[in-house]
Amino acid sequence: MTDTPSGQLTVDLSDQVALVTGASQGLGRAMAIALGRSGARVACVARNAEKLQETAAAITSAGGAAEVFSCDVTDRESVDKTVDGVVEKWGRLDIMVNNAGVTRDTLLPRMTDEDWDTVIDTNLRGTFLFTRAVTRQMMQQRYGRIINIASVSGLMGNPGQANYSASKAGIIGFTRTVAKELAKRKITVNAVAPGFIESEMSAALGEAIIGEVKKRIPARRIGTPEEIAEAVLYLASGAASYITGQVLTIDGGMTA
């Protein structure tokens, strides 16, 4: 499905520790692997420990270091325990990627309370809980990179995704506010807003629908997880030290 292969950004993250939520598949897996490839020790976090092992294995087989942490991102105690475990193991925490997210798509009249709460709790509350937890360590270090995964749905809305769009718009507002709070401590906080990206979900739509989607994208193709991972890698690097409170939209020009 990929029309154009992604390049590889060269970044040195040696001696740094990264935590990626939702690292068991899709974007999270690609981000975790990219960070590990660049020398970071990676804490791979998700509910499904078995799938996380596959991500960790991909990192270690490439010469990196990774550890698996099973965690419910909506539970404060679970989040705090995970962050404490990462710091206890490696002594620091430099990069936080809040990627864990779910969808429960349906039009508003049919949306249940559970549909709403599940998406808001996982996507927005999870981002809040992990950001608050890692901020304590990063403030002590006087260094940190926090990268929150938003979506173009949070910028422009999308029918059938009132809950998802609200959660991602919330992440954008959260990102901009926390960036202002933490900038003087040398902690940057940014968001990445992907557009239509290759995934198991998109593949299930079939070539006909994918073809129609591509017509709406000026680049005439959908993105790859690796392209999102490269952007995260840049924001995690020292080269992005003066970038904070920003939303990097990666959608092939769809929202231009």
What pLDDT does residue 212 have? 86
Ranges of residues in the chain with a pLDDT under 50 are 1-6
3-state secondary structure of 66: strand
CATH of the domain at 175: 3.40.50.720
| Residue 127 placed within a domain | yes
Is 46:27 a contact under the CB 8 Å cutoff?
Answer: no
What pLDDT does residue 201 have? 65
- 143, 164, 234, 242: which is the annotated catalytic residue? 164
| Residue 216 placed within a domain | no
171's CB contacts (< 8 A; 6+ apart) are 98, 123, 124, 127, 148, 149, 150, 154, 191
What pLDDT does residue 203 have? 73
| Residue 144 placed within a domain | yes
Mean confidence (pLDDT) of the chain: 94
| Residue 220 placed within a domain | no
| CA distances from residue 196 to 96, 126, 213, 253 in whole angstroms, order as listed | 23, 23, 8, 11
| Residue 113 placed within a domain | yes
Q: Is 143 a residue of the active site? A: no
What pLDDT does residue 204 have? 66
What pLDDT does residue 5 have? 45
Segments forming the whole domain that contains residue 234: 17-195+225-250
| Residue 136 placed within a domain | yes
| Residue 234 placed within a domain | yes
What pLDDT does residue 145 have? 98
Q: What's the total number of domains in the chain?
A: 1
| Residue 42 placed within a domain | yes
